[in-house]
Structure 1
Amino acid sequence: MSFSQAKKGMVGWITLERPKAMNALSRDMIEGMTATLRSWTDDPNVRTVVITGTGPAFCAGADLKTASAAVAPGEKDFLDHIVIFFDTLRAFPKPTIAAVNGLTLAGGLEAVLACDIVLAAKSARLGDGHSNFGVFPGGGGAAILPRKVPANVAKYLLFTGDAISADEMKALGLVNEVVADAELAERAQALGEKFAKKSPLVLARMKKVANEAADKSTADALRHELHELRDHQRSWDIQEGLNAFVEKRQPQFKGY
Structure 2
Amino acid sequence: MNESVSFEVRGQVGWITLTRPEARNALSREMVLAMTTQLRAWREDAGVRVVALTGTGPAFCAGADLKTAGSPAQPGEADFLDTLVVFFDLLRAFPKPVIAAVNGLAVAGGLETVLACDFVIAAQSARFGDAHSNFGVFPGGGGAAVLPRKVPHNVAKYLLFTGDSLPADEMKTHGLVSEVVADAELVARVQAIGEKLAKKSPLVLRRMKQVADEAPDKSVADALRHELLELRNHQRSYDIAEGLRAFAEKRAPEFKGY
TM range (shorter): over 0.9
Deviations along 1:92-138, one digit per CA (max 9) or x if unpaired, are 00000000000110000000000001000001111000000000000
Counterpart CA distance in 1 for 2:222 and 2:82 is 32
Report deviation, 1:71. Answer: 1.5
Work out which of the residue numbers 22, 33, 38 in structure 2 matches 1:31. 33
Q: Is 1:167 the counterpart of 2:169 in the alignment?
A: yes
What SS class does the counterpart of residue 67 from structure 1 fall into? coil
Counterpart CA distance in 1 for 2:76 and 2:22 is 33
Counterpart CA distance in 1 for 2:92 and 2:73 is 26
| 1:71 match | 73
What SS class does the counterpart of residue 99 from structure 1 fall into? strand
Work out which of the residue numbers 240, 247, 250 in structure 2 matches 1:248. 250
Deviations along 1:202-235, one digit per CA (max 9) or x if unpaired, are 0000000000000011111001001111110000
| 2:158 match | 156
Amino acid at match of 1:36: Q
Q: Is 1:217 the counterpart of 2:225 in the alignment?
A: no
| 1:208 match | 210
Amino acid at match of 2:8: A
| 2:6 match | 4
Counterpart CA distance in 2 for 1:73 and 1:217 is 44
Q: How many residues end up aligned between the 2 structures? A: 256
Amino acid at match of 2:138: F
| 1:111 match | 113
Report deviation, 1:42. Answer: 1.6
Q: Is 1:95 the counterpart of 2:97 in the alignment?
A: yes
Counterpart CA distance in 2 for 1:92 and 1:117 is 13
Report deviation, 1:14. Answer: 0.2
Counterpart CA distance in 1 for 2:76 and 2:6 is 30
Q: With structure 1 as the length reference, what TM-score do the two structures score?
A: 0.99
| 1:142 match | 144
Counterpart CA distance in 2 for 1:87 and 1:70 is 22
Deviations along 1:140-176, one digit per CA (max 9) or x if unpaired, are 0000000000111100000000000000000000000
Counterpart CA distance in 1 for 2:57 and 2:27 is 14
Work out which of the residue numbers 44, 47, 56 in structure 1 matches 2:58. 56
Amino acid at match of 1:67: A
What SS class does the counterpart of residue 192 from structure 2 fall into? helix
Amino acid at match of 2:215: A
Structure 1 runs (4+) greater than 2 angstroms displaced = 72-75
Q: Tell me, which stretches of 5 or more residues in structure 2 are unaligned?
A: none
Counterpart CA distance in 1 for 2:61 and 2:102 is 9
Please provide the CA RMSD for this pair.
0.6
What SS class does the counterpart of residue 198 from structure 1 fall into? coil
What SS class does the counterpart of residue 9 from structure 2 fall into? strand
What SS class does the counterpart of residue 104 from structure 1 fall into? strand
| 2:126 match | 124
Counterpart CA distance in 2 for 1:234 and 1:50 is 30
Q: With structure 2 as the length reference, what TM-score do the two structures score?
A: 0.98
Work out which of the residue numbers 234, 237, 240 in structure 2 matches 1:235. 237
Q: Tell me, which stretches of 5 or more residues in structure 1 are unaligned?
A: none
Deviations along 1:172-200, one digit per CA (max 9) or x if unpaired, are 00000000000000000000000000000
| 2:135 match | 133
What SS class does the counterpart of residue 210 from structure 2 fall into? helix
Counterpart CA distance in 2 for 1:144 and 1:31 is 23
